[in-house]
Amino acid sequence: MRRLLARRMKFHLIGAFFVSVGCAALYKFGVAEPRKRAYAEFYKNYDPMKDFEAMRAAGVFESAPPK
């Protein structure tokens, strides 16, 4: 029973490290990268003036009344 805690802790620390690295990689490639690509695709064709005119026509802005 000597050094049982030390041996088990070493095993669990190594396991926890690999699990955390795996989770970080899954998040990066499963969530963050697709989100970056989606934002890049959206802003590639985004026209802010067209969006402003649509919101203005809908009456969203108080300082810019609809035409």
Phi, psi of 59 (to 5 degrees): 85, 25
Task: Kindly tell me the sign of the dihedral angle through the C-alpha atoms of 27, 31, 33, 35.
Answer: negative
Distance CA 10, CA 40 (A): 43
Q: Hey, what domains does the chain have and what are their CATH numbers?
A: 31-66 (4.10.93.10)
Tens-place pLDDT, residues 26-64: 999 999 999 999 999 999 999 999 999 999 999 999 898
Cβ-Cβ contacts under 8 Å for 56 (sequence gap 6 or more):
64, 65, 66, 67
pTM above 0.85, yes or no: no
Q: Which two tokens stand for residue 15?
A: 């396991």
Task: Kindly tell me the sign of the dihedral angle through the C-alpha atoms of 46, 39, 34, 31.
Answer: negative
